[in-house]
Amino acid sequence: MNYTIKTETEIKKMRKSGKLAAEVLEMIEKYVQPDVSTEEINNICHDFIKKRNAIPACLGYHGFPKSVCISINDVVCHGIPSKKEILKKGDIVNIDVTVIKDNYFADTSRMFFVGETNQLCKKLCKITQESLYASLNIIKPKIPFYKIGEIIQNYVEKNNFSIVREYCGHGIGSKFHEPPNVLHYKSCNNIFFEKGMIFTIEPMVNAGHSAVECMKDGWTVRTKDRSLSAQYEHTILVTEEGCDVLTWQKNEKIPSKFINR
């Protein structure tokens, strides 16, 4: 697989696009409330990104009609914002933001609760986020890439949830999706982390069975058994001794730089 190693100049640009993508998620939190439509949330994100001289990468990507993906409850990913879709108390919502700033992409998503939500929702989101965080502890040069999937799958299954197989993380840079594929389950390959690699990790975790299906709109992916699904995503840079979370948000209980000695 011909993945790229980013130059210092590219890394500088990706730090900026990563920061902007994180800021979109920080900014949008207060709008995720009952009675708000997903289209309104989409439009607020769109305007914020444009004001910062950046481009919402999802808009028009393979024909995707909106600027961010918004995926509620049993929607696993690629939910299309709509006037008709109104948030209600208890919903769990993923907002997935990809921006292009100065020709470089950054991609990140997190879960939000609409008002009070139940224990299962809270646990599912917590385990999903922790599975992503756990994988950050092992990233440094010369460690095999497949460790990410091993750690995430083990963590998720130990907690009696299931990991979606159909979608994976990806290299990212001057393109949205670059090699390598970053699998969130056990697999084998002969890639090792190298300083200057940039990729996403974005586990999708289901409360029930791992199977998913795509709806007739060609985008919206739901769990087959209609159980809840959660996802968190970060854009990660491999450094000399660990990794940097380029899309790190102020509210996160992890450092933005991991030293993994």
Helix (H) / strand (E) containing 108: strand 104-113
- Cα distance between residue 162 and residue 175, in whole Å: 30
Which positions from 87 through 126 interact with ligand MF3, judged by CB under 6 A? 96, 98, 107
Least CB distance from residue 109 to Co ion, whole Å? 5
Tokens 């008002």 locate to 115
Tally the residues of the chain.
261
The reply, when asked if residue 170 is annotated as ligand binding, is yes
Least CB distance from residue 34 to Co ion, whole Å? 25
Which residue in 74, 85, 233, 244 binds ligand MF3 (CB under 6 A)? 233
Q: Contact 224/241 with Cβ under 8 angstroms?
A: no
Residues binding ligand MF3: number (CB under 6 A):
11
The reply, when asked if residue 47 is annotated as ligand binding, is no
Residue 96 contacts Co ion per CB under 5 A: yes
Instruction: State the pairing for strand pair 178-182/198-201.
Output: unpaired
- Choice between 52 and 175, CB closer to Co ion: 175
Which positions from 55 through 74 interact with ligand MF3, judged by CB under 6 A? 58, 61-62, 64, 69
Which string of x and - marks every residue 159-198 that binds Co ion (by CB under 5 A)? Answer: ----------------------------------------
Least CB distance from residue 249 to ligand MF3, whole Å? 16
Residue 81 exposure: Cα atoms within 13 Å on the Cβ side: 24
| Beta-strand runs (E) in the chain | 55-56, 69-72, 75-77, 92-101, 104-113, 162-163, 169-171, 178-182, 198-201, 204-206, 212-214, 221-223, 229-231, 234-238, 242-245, 257-259
The residue type at 28: I
Residues in contact with Co ion by the rule CB under 5 A = 96, 107, 200, 233
Residues in contact with ligand MF3 by the rule CB under 6 A = 58, 61-62, 64, 69, 78, 96, 98, 107, 202, 233
Annotated binding site for a divalent metal cation: 96, 107, 170, 202, 233
